[in-house]
Structure 1
Amino acid sequence: ALCLSKLKLKPSKAPFVIALSIGSFFAFIFVSQIYGEIESLDNKIPAKMQIEALDEIGEFLDYATTWFLKLYRDEKLKEKDLLAKSKHYKKAIEKLRKGLSKNLPASTQAFIDGRKDNYIKNGLPKAIAEQLALLPVLNTACDIIRIADEEKQDVATVARVYFGLNEAFSFVWLRDEARGLEPESRYESDTLKGLTDRLYGTQARLTKRIVAETCNTKKCPKDPVGEWITHGNGSVQTILDAVKNMKDSEQVDFAMLTSIEIRLAQLG
């Protein structure tokens, strides 16, 4: 209901769109099966770990559903068009998923491996741990596919830019830090979620800009993000330094994350 009010969608259209959004993602990563497997671990793993894993799935579905609702609104799609879009995205996501190992930079892969190891350490079976660990990356798939469609580029090329931005600016780490902050009120909880969503949006806009500026020929440079940074102005390096300093600090707070998010948004 909150998503619908924010996006100003007609209630009569909502049930179909929501069902389609969730169904598309369920079909792709079999979240329903994983959800059931996690629930079956009652009294077999720490309750805190079980709740955290279920929350991860809930957050993933919330973001995916909202993303499709925004697509429905922004492109003024009819229901039959959205159905066709969902099939296109499902096929493209499958392709992207199979090629992840080739497109993920070292820092992102290390982040995923760390998540997987933590889940296994806390009692989750390896198969479930591996799929849960990938959720922060798969959350970005729709943005990558949409940019590839708009810029008429291969999904793998756009993925290389998108994940290259994470290597440079640590977007996944920034979002993870935002999720890790403990809100003291419902207002702070909503504010933190808004910050996380804006970081997704900023990374997508930067990806689109870099693809448009560096991949406008038949072949993209080997390191489009690095080339863009090299030819950028001094503000890019200043932000890179600020992110590095934040990662080196003992504690990250909301003000620090908000400051970085605002500066990153100005680049897009």
Structure 2
Amino acid sequence: GWVSVQRHFRERGIDVQQDHTTVIGIGDMAGDVFGNGLLLSDKLQMVAAFNHMHIFIDPNPDAATSFVERQRLFDLPRSSWADYDSTLISAGGGIFLRSAKSIAISAEMQARFDISANKLAPTELLHALLKAPVDLLWNGGIGTYVKSSKESHADVGDKANDALRVDGRELRAKVVGEGGNLGMTQLGRVEYGLNGGASNTDFIDNAGGVDCSDHEVNIKILLNEIVAAGDMTGKQRNKLLAEMTDAVGGLVLGNNYKQTQALSLAERRARERLGEYKRLMAALESAGKLDRGLEFLPSDEELNERAANGRGLTRPELSVLISYSKIDLKESLLKSLVPDDDYLAREMETAFPPLLAKKFGEPMRRHRLKREIVSTQIANDLVNHMGITFVQRLKESTGMSAANVAGAYVIVRDVFRLPHWWQQIEALDYKVPAELQLQLMDELMRLGRRATRWFLRSRRNELDAARDVAHFAPRVEALALRLDELLEGPAREQWLARFQAYVEAGVPEVLARVVAGTSHLYTLLPIIEASDVTGQEPDQVAAAYFAVGGALELSWYLQQITSLTVENNWQALAREAFRDDLDWQQRAITVSVLQMVEGPADIEARVVVWLEQRRRLVERWKTMLGELRAATGTDYAMYSVANRELMDLAQSGQA
């Protein structure tokens, strides 16, 4: 849960481990979730907290001394707020019983919690505390304290808290962390989100518990099988299990970090991708896998209304969909051959501490839950890094199955070493603005999306992960390092401008080189394929490919296609088809240039000769580009015509 809280604040430019952060808590230090959470930073200023018995108020706490006192209460068996040393509480604070008739409101309390009354009944005070302007509302308690203004208290079904409950739009805490379950209704979370609040959902923030037991079960099964085979004693097994605690904790926190990061990436583009989410929900509904009403997801009418107001789905709604899309993909993978592919099954190792994976690789492959674990790991990895709608989008545009999409994704991930670059971006936490990190990740996602699509379309039924990674990875790596030498003209200038901007913003140079060139890195795939076809060295082919692109201004043309606004699914499919055509055309022209019988040896000169021989077609293409430049507004029909012209040029080389 704390990982979620850290992310919300980091994205608002606050480091909860370094900056003073005001908190109101629901629960007490004896509670596991509540207590642990409030001991994860000694910079917290806990200004108020309450449980079923007491209300604790400390309007202007000293972060360091109160941290030590919270630690003492946490270590004290069955402690309550009454055990807190009242001499440490700041002026105007105190510990009050919830059974009191009324509570006098000090000037300090009035100032801190924005209360005007001089005295309040305990429930009135709690109601005011829930609406107070603080940084964080940390819920580790039992009960539902926030609903939406459209719900009645009866809808909530937690009578005990009717008198203190507030509406999502009334919350003034910047962030809500849900360590406990059901602290807010789902509609309450959505209303809070639409009013600018930051929260996920309880099942995202406290996913750690379930995740932890999953890891433990998988590890125990593995070790029991090793013990049964006589390769380890029961005593050794128990010792090893005890040593694994921290490593398992690391895996669990890593999963939580990745999942909340995926929600941030989804939230950034929630408005522009609304159409994709609609289609995903419709697909899940028609397959009988999702009931929107049950999950409090908005209807299409509500979504259209949000779109008109420039809004998309909120984080709590995306939290529901990320869970559904992972479950759906996992089920598809289980029914496929993916978990049986030796290369793809290596994914299994990511579910175990590295030490175990190194030591017991062989027995791991015989694990009786192997297929389930492989499917789960691939589904989590894909959705966390490529987005909630990725599989649905590619299934629609390529006609391939979810399992095909996942298999192609793993190839792309390993060919471009995406996890390596992704980790480098994560390592910039608190060193560069969070928004820049999300932007860099967005670039990697786009590369991943386009490259996965390329594999699905160009190798329709012959994907072989081990073979494709072995063939493409070393060639991509060799060319990627020299990308800036291979690019020329406007493409190189653009790359350079982006590279310099990233470096100035604090991005390490090696990472900046890669991320500045994601749109060109993707073209290394057709370049390598053209090299396979012509038998020429990849760098020769790359030089020809980029020279053709420069001479015919194809980079500019691709940018125009990419920036076409999409208003419906047909336009989205058309835009992808235009991009596919352009890939094919540029590759075809490149191959034709390389296979010219009587061309000069110099690549640039060859391109000039090739174009000269087709002067009429080239002039038509240049005229077309001129018209596109002069056009006001975007029209898909113009691009259909332009693509036709380019196709004529590409096919002229195949006579």
Under a length normalisation based on structure 2, what TM-score does the superposition of the two structures give?
A: 0.35
- Please say if residues 145 and 155 of structure 1, whose CA atoms lie closer than 8 Å, have aligned partners that are also in contact: yes
Residue 161 (str. 1) matches residue 544 (str. 2)? yes
Give, as a single letter, the amino acid of the residue that structure 1 aligns with 2:462.
L
Q: Give the aligned partner of residue 24 of structure 1.
A: 415
Give, as a single letter, the amino acid of the residue that structure 1 aligns with 2:581.
R
Q: Give the aligned partner of residue 235 of structure 1.
A: 617
Out of 220, 242, 263, the position equivalent to 2:645 is 263
Partners of 2:635 and 2:620 in 1: how far apart? 20
Q: Give the aligned partner of residue 58 of structure 1.
A: 445
Partners of 2:500 and 2:635 in 1: how far apart? 27
1:95-244 equivalent positions in 2, closer than 5 A: 95-119=478-502, 123=505, 125=507, 127=509, 128-213=511-596, 219=601, 221-244=603-626
Partners of 2:635 and 2:434 in 1: how far apart? 29
Alpha-carbon distance, 1:143 to partner: 0.4
- Please say if residues 541 and 594 of structure 2, whose CA atoms lie closer than 8 Å, have aligned partners that are also in contact: yes
- Please say if residues 177 and 252 of structure 1, whose CA atoms lie closer than 8 Å, have aligned partners that are also in contact: no
Alpha-carbon distance, 1:83 to partner: 1.5
Give, as a single letter, the amino acid of the residue that structure 2 aligns with 1:162.
Y
Partners of 2:455 and 2:493 in 1: how far apart? 29
Partners of 2:476 and 2:547 in 1: how far apart? 18
Q: Give the aligned partner of residue 423 of structure 2.
A: 33
Partners of 2:566 and 2:401 in 1: how far apart? 32
Residue 88 (str. 1) matches residue 476 (str. 2)? no
Partners of 1:169 and 1:37 in 2: how far apart? 40
CA 1:252–1:34 in structure 2 vs 1: closer, same or farther (change >3 Å)?
farther
Q: Return the structure number with greater relative CO, CA threshold 8 A, min gap 6.
A: 1
Partners of 1:84 and 1:110 in 2: how far apart? 35
CA 1:183–1:168 in structure 2 vs 1: closer, same or farther (change >3 Å)?
same
Alignment length, in residue pairs? 257
Matched residues, percent identical?
17
Please report the RMSD computed on the Cα atoms of aligned residues, expressed in angstroms. 3.2
Partners of 2:408 and 2:606 in 1: how far apart? 36
Out of 54, 70, 85, the position equivalent to 2:457 is 70
Alpha-carbon distance, 1:254 to partner: 3.6
CA 1:171–1:13 in structure 2 vs 1: closer, same or farther (change >3 Å)?
closer
Alpha-carbon distance, 1:194 to partner: 2.8
CA 1:185–1:215 in structure 2 vs 1: closer, same or farther (change >3 Å)?
farther
Partners of 2:623 and 2:583 in 1: how far apart? 20
Alpha-carbon distance, 1:158 to partner: 0.9
1:72-114 Cα shifts (integer Å, max 9, x gaps): 42xx5363xx422321211111222233343322322112123
SS of the residue corresponding to residue 213 of structure 1 reads: coil
- Please say if residues 178 and 192 of structure 1, whose CA atoms lie closer than 8 Å, have aligned partners that are also in contact: yes
- Please say if residues 405 and 452 of structure 2, whose CA atoms lie closer than 8 Å, have aligned partners that are also in contact: no
CA 1:77–1:100 in structure 2 vs 1: closer, same or farther (change >3 Å)?
same
CA 1:20–1:45 in structure 2 vs 1: closer, same or farther (change >3 Å)?
same
1:26-80 Cα shifts (integer Å, max 9, x gaps): 26x8332245357x369x5384x5554333221110111122233442xx5363x
Alpha-carbon distance, 1:208 to partner: 1.8
Alpha-carbon distance, 1:234 to partner: 0.7
Partners of 2:576 and 2:506 in 1: how far apart? 26
Structure 1 residues not aligned, in runs of 5+: none
Q: Give the aligned partner of residue 89 of structure 2.
A: none
Partners of 1:63 and 1:130 in 2: how far apart? 19
1:115-140 Cα shifts (integer Å, max 9, x gaps): 3345567x462534432211111110
Give the structure with the larger helix fraction: 1
Partners of 2:646 and 2:585 in 1: how far apart? 7
- Please say if residues 96 and 141 of structure 1, whose CA atoms lie closer than 8 Å, have aligned partners that are also in contact: yes
Alpha-carbon distance, 1:222 to partner: 4.5
Under a length normalisation based on structure 1, what TM-score does the superposition of the two structures give?
A: 0.79
Larger radius of gyration: 2
Partners of 2:612 and 2:647 in 1: how far apart? 19
CA 1:264–1:18 in structure 2 vs 1: closer, same or farther (change >3 Å)?
same
Out of 634, 649, 652, the position equivalent to 1:253 is 634
Give, as a single letter, the amino acid of the residue that structure 2 aligns with 1:229.
L
Partners of 1:83 and 1:50 in 2: how far apart? 31
